[in-house]
């Protein structure tokens, strides 16, 4: 049964598991954030690999502990690699985390995102505009940035979660996590996260690291969003702007202590 | 009519416009600088998108506020995407900013750069060696770094500006902006900008952000080069080297104030 | 004849040569580390270029001072570019430095790495698992991270060095450099280097910069590993974690002084 209350200690134990097991997180991801995502995963102790070639999908997915798919700089020949990676991940019952970057910004991305969902994912994470576009074909003229609040996407997130039988995470000012008719709200983080590229993509990758060591998909998602959000709040206090925020965030993720989670707050709707 | 004197306040008002309107800047750019360019654009408040796939050129260019083309890691299938993006941008009268990275380092780049110019761009920005190579087929054995002073490329820049009816920006120790028989000199910046990868590319992307909100191409170029140059001067004072310079530059761009522009100096030749 | 003892001054003179000559280092490298590698090379004064297109291999390799090949995000059409680059480099007697990133993580990488070795490289640098996989087809389930100590790969490194007539560098807690029946041990560095993506790839690129100005392949490798290791030790003292470590490392590389090398220690086995 799902816990009514999530304790700081539960999150911290999960982080300790990530550091101990150093799960191999395979990222099929975009070229803008590859470095950032790898550094975020390394900071929490996970072992990232980035591989897009279809020739090595079989070998790499079959030994990975989680698969992260991100369509932020999609190109046509990547579609076959994604399909193959999903097939193998499903066969090995690997958690598949999907980030539909820019869904709504082009029909190419929106359609590809729907195809990926149809083949099966464990967790879908996007901003509100991306989540909305996956059902109502909304066009987002802000590209990869959101032009909606997360609450506006809540109903569609619940629908998507039921339709595709996956956990749905909408990230934003307020994070929302929906799965199996339960909805959780988290309000950690800082607007600085929207002024550094790849922070959403890094949230998705972190969910991958936690899903590799925590079986429950909602809990893995909550732990990851809480970790990023609370580390970001701590980093913001020391930062002078988005430039210094990013290295301080990595330092903070690297040195997380139980005390960093005492302010954790999560609401069950 | 073009202003004889550009005030600090004019630049600052333009930056405020960028922050207010958060223009969508579409970057077809190289893999080395994607992250850096995105972070520079986010720091000034613009909304960057990176997309290379021909399948989404129509959707993304048609809703973008500026198109930035950069050939720093060119590959053959990108040529069709660039052509399509230019066609749509011209149709929507979008500003097209072009960065011929490494023109002169290979015939492939030099020829591609000329083809892009022939199809039509609004603003061309390069270092002196790149600009020179676009007319006299100069071979640059320093690769993507310049082996000339900007003044050496002045005459050819004026020729290119007339031939292709575009604003030409030569960046270097002294920045030169030529358009419609007017030539401006800016001397802001620091040599540290040459020790961090992607600073030239970021200048080009910043011109895109300004050209999205300021109609006059010379003014947009001057505002962008002044913003980067003055922020770099301020950042240099706090930096210990190129590593700390880059995050401090982002912080500075994020928090620009009118006072940061009081030393602005621009000379009309 | 090879020096029995390498003095701090010898390393520092080599760094001064890099700064003076600013060698053009051509990198055919992976998308995760392109920016990081470029920044490391710029920090020591080299001139990096990243180019993967077969159309420009001839022009760029023929004017480069060193060629660095890295298969961290391999894709099939890159194989032809790599082959062509190697052919031209061999023709111009250019040092070719090879980083078999993720060899052992997939048959595609392991086989490609062997083919590259067969065509001829000057220096091979990898972690212990990568080096091991090049002879015994070991499968590395840690992806691009090592699951072996460098000493475990010593014998195979010596074999590879003899078989392919190249200098072999195994990097790790203890760095090992083997060539022509001589084996050197270096113990500089910090575990933080494993928590920042691209540090191994940057070591390879640095070897390229040194090999461009120092003819002896063992010496070039030792100088590069010593430079990165000693700079990392200095940076670690000022860093709060992997996030602040990376910019401080760049600052340190940019400002290296003879005094930074006084603790240099290298053992001949």
> Following DSSP, what letter does each residue of A94-152 receive, concatenated?
--EEEE-TTBTTBHHHHHHHHHHHHH--SEEEEEHHHHHHHHH----TTTTS--S-GGG
Asked whether residue C123 is assigned to any structural domain, the reply reads yes
pLDDT tens per residue across span A79-118: 999 999 999 999 999 999 999 999 999 999 999 999 999 9
Q: What is the pTM of this model?
A: 0.97
Quote the minimal CA–CA distance from A36 to chain C in Å: 9
Kindly report the nearest CA distance between residue C28 and chain B, in angstroms. 10
- Partners of A88 on chain C (C-beta within 8 Å) are none
State how far the Cα of B56 lies from the Cα of B51, in Å rounded to an integer.
Answer: 8
Mean pLDDT, each 10-residue run in order, chain B (269 residues): 80 97 97 98 98 97 97 96 98 97 96 97 97 87 87 95 98 96 95 97 98 98 98 98 98 98 92
Q: pLDDT tens-digit profile of A140-190?
A: 878 888 889 999 999 999 999 999 999 999 999 999 999 998 999 999 999
Q: In what order do the strands lie in the sheet with A123-127?
A: A47-50, A24-28, A66-70, A96-99, A123-127, A167-171, A175-179, A182-186, A266-268
Widest Cα–Cα separation across chain B? 47
Residue A1 scores a pLDDT above 90: no
Q: CB of A70 within 8 A of CB of A204?
A: yes
Instruction: Return d(Cα A33, Cα A28) in angstroms, integer.
Output: 11
Interface of A with C in 57-86 (CB under 8 A): 59-60, 63-64
What DSSP line would sit under chain A, residue for residue?
A: ---SS--HHHHHHHHHHHHHH--EEEEE--TTTHHHHHHHHHHTT-EEEE---GGGHHHHHHH-SEEEEE-TT--TTHHHHHHHHHHHHHHTT--EEEE-TTBTTBHHHHHHHHHHHHH--SEEEEEHHHHHHHHH----TTTTS--S-GGGGHHHHHHHHHHHT-EEEEESSSEEEEETTEEEEE----GGGGGSTTHHHHHHHHHHHHHTT---HHHHHHHHHHHHHHHHHHHHHH-SSHHHHHHHHHHHHHT--GGGGTT--EEE-
Contact B59 A107 (CB under 8 A): yes
Interface probe, candidates B38, B39, B70, B75, chain C, greatest C C-beta count within 10 A = B75
Domain tally, chain C: 1
**A114 token code pair:** 């729907």
Residue A1 belongs to a domain: no
Residues comprising chain A, all counted: 269
Closest CA relative to residue B74, chosen from B44, B116, B129: B116
pLDDT digits (tens, 9 = 90+) for C102-134: 999 999 999 999 999 999 999 999 999 999 999
Predicted confidence (pLDDT) per residue in A190-244, tens digit:
999 999 999 999 999 999 999 999 999 999 999 999 999 999 999 999 999 999 9
What lies within 8 Å, CB to CB, of C209 at 6+ separation is C18, C23, C25, C41, C44, C46, C66, C224
**Domain extent at residue A173:** 8-268
Q: What is the pLDDT of residue B143?
A: 86
Q: How far apart are CA A242 and CA A224, in angstroms?
A: 21
Query: Per-residue b/e over C81-95, b at no fewer than 16 CB within 10 Å?
Result: bbeebbebbbeeebb
Closest CA relative to residue C124, chosen from C77, C156, C151: C156
Confidence check: pLDDT of C2 > 70? no
| CATH for A236 | 3.40.1190.20
Inter-chain residue contact A197 with B255, CB threshold 8 Å = no
Q: Is residue B3 part of a domain?
A: no
Give the per-residue pLDDT at B1: 52
What average pLDDT does this structure show over C200-213?
98
What share of chain A has pLDDT > 90, as a percent?
A: 92
Asked, for residue B2, whether it belongs to a domain, the answer is no
**pLDDT at C137 exceeding the cut of 80:** no
- Mean per-residue pLDDT over chain C, rounded: 96
Q: Which two tokens stand for residue B195?
A: 């020790």
Identify whether C1 is part of a domain.
no
To probe the interface with A, which of C76, C105, C147, C239 has the most A CB atoms within 10 Å? C105
Are residues B50 and A33, on separate chains, in Cβ contact within 8 Å? Answer: no
pLDDT of residue C100: 97
- Interface contact flag, C243 A255, Cβ < 8 Å: no
The whole-number pLDDT of residue C126 equals 97
Question: Is A224 inside a domain boundary?
Answer: yes
The model's pLDDT over B94-148, given as tens digits with 9 standing for 90+, comes to 999 999 999 999 999 999 999 999 999 999 999 999 999 999 778 887 888 888 9
Q: Is B240 on the interface with C (CB under 8 A)?
A: yes
**Rounded to an integer, what distance in angstroms lies between the CA atom of residue A211 and that of residue A43?**
17
State whether residue A3 sits within 8 Å of chain B by CB: no
Does any domain span residue C34?
yes
Inter-chain touch B242–C252, beta carbons under 8 Å = no
Query: Which pLDDT score is estimated for B2?
Result: 61
* Mutual angle of helices C199-211 and C217-238, in 10-degree steps: 140
Count of CB atoms within 10 A of residue A110's CB?
A: 24
């Amino acid at each position: 049964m799902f816990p009514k209350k999530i304790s700081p200690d539960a999150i911290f134990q999960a982080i300790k598991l990530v550091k101990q097991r150093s799960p191999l997180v395979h990222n099929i991801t975009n070229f803008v954030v590859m470095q950032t995502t790898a550094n975020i995963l390394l900071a929490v102790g996970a072992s990232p690999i980035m591989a897009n070639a279809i020739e090595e999908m079989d070998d790499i997915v079959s030994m990975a502990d989680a698969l992260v798919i991100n369509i932020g700089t999609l190109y046509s020949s990547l579609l076959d690699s994604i399909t193959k990676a999903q097939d193998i991940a499903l066969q090995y019952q690997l958690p598949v985390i999907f980030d539909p970057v820019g869904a709504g910004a082009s029909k190419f991305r929106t359609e590809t995102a729907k195809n990926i969902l149809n083949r099966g994912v464990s967790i879908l994470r996007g901003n509100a505009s991306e989540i909305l576009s996956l059902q109502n074909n909304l066009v987002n003229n802000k590209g990869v940035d959101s032009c909606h609040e997360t609450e506006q996407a809540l109903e569609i997130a619940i629908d998507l979660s039921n339709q595709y039988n996956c956990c749905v995470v909408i990230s934003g000012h307020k994070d929302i996590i929906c799965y199996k008719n339960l909805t959780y709200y988290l309000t950690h983080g800082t607007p600085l996260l929207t002024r550094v590229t790849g922070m959403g993509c890094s949230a998705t990758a972190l969910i991958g690291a936690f899903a590799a060591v925590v079986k429950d998909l909602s809990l893995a998602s909550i732990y990851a969003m809480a970790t990023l959000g609370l580390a970001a709040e701590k980093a913001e206090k020391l930062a002078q702007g988005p430039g210094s925020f990013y290295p301080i965030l990595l330092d903070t993720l690297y040195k997380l202590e139980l005390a960093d989670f005492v302010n954790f707050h999560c609401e069950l709707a």
